[in-house]
């Protein structure tokens, strides 16, 4: 039965997030050597604040694993998993613990390294805190997923006025809010904090517009998974979409509105935090540019089954390439034009090739 | 009415359906075959949901790839096992599809009455039974002014009274507007009471006339 759980939940979790792990490994171990990691760990062991930061990160990762398992338990194709409830409680909990340990393997491995260093430096309080926190995370994970198993078909997040007419352009944003809220919150918090951060950093030194562009680049890349999520949502629940008599312009226009809604909070953040020595028109340009690039990522991802790690490797390369172009001074107008024109052109070409692909 | 030429549908390089030539006249056409024989793949391909190689021509005029919008305006499809976002209502979906298919508000409400969808018009689809979902999918497939409607397993989960109303309406559409229908069913197709123009056997990746 454990093999079954691994095959159904643990394996797909790592397969789906392979790209994310790859990027994290590239960022964490590409830029930092083992010696620097040890220095960071040593610092964290001596600082309750830094240790707490590590705990928060682990907590967010655990939340992600919990959300994933609960989502899989609620999926119609996994309805048969309800029979798992019939397994005696003790045995079921042991199985959940094994599955949760596998899901939390990355943080348990890193935690184990921290514990080993804590033992070397005789930091018993930090060692105890790390071990306890890992136990808590496993316990919370097991409790949360077992609760979902025993309480299937939860009520979705209730939104006011469900009897309101919902136009097509809000279908995906509502789905994202209701069924993948963690992904939504993490994406928007990451993007919002980045943009607010660079805006506030700007007046503190002799920075130029490149700083704002770097913030924008990272905020856009933070949305890199949205195109795939939207594509999966429509492929699964709106199978009839390709049958609708809509031209490529009409379809593209609808996605322009959808991404405009998704990207709208960033406009408010940019306007609210606009540095005093930067024109308001410039931050609006920034926002419009980001909108175009979100659409470009959508055009690249929509309707295509791209292996997750390949997609995220591409995003990583795009980050490096984008960074270089920004540092070489590519102006905002060029970014704006490239984003919007390529998004529309790629969508047009992609729609045609998706209709006839098997020559 | 429908001309299919050199259609090849493949998944990951493996051909699952090959139709060198298939010509269907106006009327009711029944496609039968075992599970996984390719009926749904064929229907989805004709509906423009799946990429393929070859040509599909409607009324000797509208090519599925050359005229994607006019073709899709005239070809509708009802899935065998419909699934919709569970926070949407029948009204949300009907208005969205109806707008795209250029259906009038009167037609939407007339169909909702005919199929009994009016009773759960503003309920979210998450609360629907499989029969209610089926009724909604049939409603969406009849919106606008289609020339061809593809009905994948229309009998499944549909109650007897609604089925009777539906098939009477289909007969009327065929008689008055010349609308054609392609149907699949694992139930006895005679239950529909529809006068079948032709019957086709789907299997082993081909479609041949049934005996």
Domains of chain B: 2-86+145-209 (3.40.50.300)
A195 and A253, same domain (yes or no): yes
A145 and A175, same domain (yes or no): no
Pick from A21-35, A104-118, A284-298, B90-104: least confident: A21-35
A176 and A132, same domain (yes or no): no
Of all helices (H) and strands (E), which one includes residue A190?
A: helix A181-201
Q: Could you report the predicted ipTM of this complex, rounded to two decimals? A: 0.91
Q: Do B93 and B46 meet the contact criterion of CB atoms below 8 Å apart?
A: no
For A221-252, the pLDDT digits (tens) are 989 889 988 998 999 999 999 999 999 999 99
Whether A103 is covered by a domain: the verdict is yes
Please name the residues in contact with A114: beta carbons below 8 A apart, sequence gap of 6 or more.
A41, A44, A45, A54, A126, A130
A233 and A101, same domain (yes or no): no
Cα A322 from chain centroid? 20
- CA closest to B150 among chain A residues: A243
Of A238, A247, A356, the CB nearest to B65: A356
A199 and A300, same domain (yes or no): yes
A243–chain B Cβ distance below 8 A for any pair: yes
Into how many domains does chain A fold? 2
A190 and A59, same domain (yes or no): no
Whether A84 is covered by a domain: the verdict is yes
Whether A161 is covered by a domain: the verdict is no
What is residue A156's DSSP assignment? P
Q: Are B69 and A357 inside 8 Å of each other by CB?
A: no
Of the candidates A248, A325, A259, the residue with the CA atom closest to the CA atom of residue A292:
A259
| Residue B149 to residue B146: CA distance in whole angstroms | 7
Of all helices (H) and strands (E), which one includes residue B19?
A: strand B14-24
> How would you write the pLDDT of chain B (211 residues) with one tens digit per residue?
999 999 999 887 889 999 999 999 999 999 999 998 999 999 999 999 998 999 999 999 999 999 999 999 999 999 999 999 989 999 999 999 999 999 999 999 999 999 999 999 999 998 899 999 999 999 999 999 999 999 999 999 999 999 999 999 999 999 999 999 999 998 888 888 899 999 999 998 999 998 6
Q: Do B1 and B59 meet the contact criterion of CB atoms below 8 Å apart?
A: yes
More confident residue, A8 or B172: B172
A75–chain B Cβ distance below 8 A for any pair: no
A158–chain B Cβ distance below 8 A for any pair: no
A36 and A130, same domain (yes or no): yes
Domain that holds residue A271: 171-358
Interface mutation target, options A230, A243, A244, A352, chain B, most CBs of B under 10 Å: A243
Size of the A and B interface in Cβ pairs below 8 Å? 89
A116 and A256, same domain (yes or no): no
Interface mutation target, options A155, A232, A244, chain B, most CBs of B under 10 Å: A244
Give the residue from A150, A182, A201 where a domain finishes.
A150
| Residue A238 to residue A236: CA distance in whole angstroms | 6
For A272-320, the pLDDT digits (tens) are 999 988 999 999 999 999 999 999 999 998 877 777 777 778 888 888 9
Whether A146 is covered by a domain: the verdict is yes
pTM over 0.80: no
A179 and A314, same domain (yes or no): yes
A116 and A183, same domain (yes or no): no
CA–CA distances in Å: residue B135 to residues B40, B79, B159: 18, 11, 10
In this structure, how many other beta carbons lie within 10 angstroms of the beta carbon of residue A204? 8
A146 and A205, same domain (yes or no): no
pLDDT at A357 over 60: no
A192 and A290, same domain (yes or no): yes
What is the predicted pLDDT for the residue at A358? 46
In this structure, how many other beta carbons lie within 10 angstroms of the beta carbon of residue A238? 20
């Amino acid at each position: 039965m454990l093999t079954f759980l691994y095959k159904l939940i643990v394996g797909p979790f790592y397969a789906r997030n392979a790209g994310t792990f790859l990027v994290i490994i590239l960022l964490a171990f590409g830029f930092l050597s083992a010696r620097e990691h040890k220095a960071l760990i040593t610092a964290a062991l001596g600082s309750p604040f830094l240790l707490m930061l590590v705990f928060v990160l682990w907590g967010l990762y655990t939340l992600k694993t919990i959300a994933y398992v609960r989502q899989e338990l609620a999926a119609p194709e996994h309805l048969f998993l309800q029979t798992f409830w019939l397994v005696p409680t003790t045995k079921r909990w042991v199985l959940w613990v094994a599955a949760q340990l596998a899901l939390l393997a990355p943080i348990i491995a890193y935690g184990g390294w921290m514990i080993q260093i804590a033992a070397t430096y005789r930091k018993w309080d930090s060692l105890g805190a790390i071990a306890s926190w890992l136990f808590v995370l496993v316990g919370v994970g097991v409790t949360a997923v077992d609760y979902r198993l025993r309480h299937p078909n939860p009520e979705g997040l209730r939104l006011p006025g469900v009897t309101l007419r919902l136009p097509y352009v809000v279908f995906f944003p509502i789905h994202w809010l209701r069924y993948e809220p963690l992904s939504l919150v993490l994406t928007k918090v990451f993007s919002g904090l980045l943009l607010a951060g660079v805006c506030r950093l700007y007046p503190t030194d002799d920075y130029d517009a490149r700083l704002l562009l770097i913030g924008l680049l990272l905020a856009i890349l933070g949305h890199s998974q949205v195109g795939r999520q939207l594509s999966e949502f429509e492929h699964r629940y709106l199978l009839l979409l390709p049958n609708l008599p809509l031209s490529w312009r009409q379809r593209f226009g609808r996605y322009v509105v959808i991404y405009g809604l998704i990207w709208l909070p960033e406009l408010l953040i940019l306007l609210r935090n606009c540095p005093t020595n930067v024109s308001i028109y410039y931050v609006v340009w920034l926002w419009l540019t980001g909108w175009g690039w979100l659409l470009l990522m959508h055009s690249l991802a929509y309707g295509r089954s791209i292996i997750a790690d390949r997609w995220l490797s591409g995003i990583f390369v795009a980050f490096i390439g984008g960074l270089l172009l920004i540092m070489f001074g590519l102006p905002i107008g060029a970014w704006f034009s490239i984003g919007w024109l390529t998004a529309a052109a790629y969508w047009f070409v992609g729609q045609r090739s998706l209709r006839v692909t098997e020559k | 009415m429908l001309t299919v030429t050199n259609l090849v549908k493949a998944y990951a390089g493996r051909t699952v359906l090959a139709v060198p030539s298939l010509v269907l006249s106006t009327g009711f056409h029944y496609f039968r075959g075992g599970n996984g024989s390719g009926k749904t793949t064929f229907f989805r391909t004709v509906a423009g949901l799946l990429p393929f190689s070859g040509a599909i021509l409607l009324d000797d005029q509208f090519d599925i790839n050359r005229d994607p919008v006019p073709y899709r305006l005239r070809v509708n499809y009802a899935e065998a096992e419909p699934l919709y976002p569970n926070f949407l209502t029948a009204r949300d979906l009907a208005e969205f599809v109806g707008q795209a298919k250029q259906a009038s508000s009167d037609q939407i409400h007339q169909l909702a009455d005919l199929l009994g969808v009016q009773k759960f018009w503003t309920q979210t689809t998450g609360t629907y039974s499989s029969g209610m979902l089926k009724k909604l999918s049939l409603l969406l497939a009849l919106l606008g002014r289609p020339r061809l409607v593809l009905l994948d397993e229309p009998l499944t989960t549909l109650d007897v009274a609604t089925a009777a109303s539906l098939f009477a309406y289909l007969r009327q559409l065929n008689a008055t507007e010349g609308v054609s229908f392609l149907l699949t069913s694992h139930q006895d197709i005679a239950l529909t009471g529809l006068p079948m123009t032709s019957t086709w056997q789907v299997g082993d990746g081909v479609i041949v006339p049934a005996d």
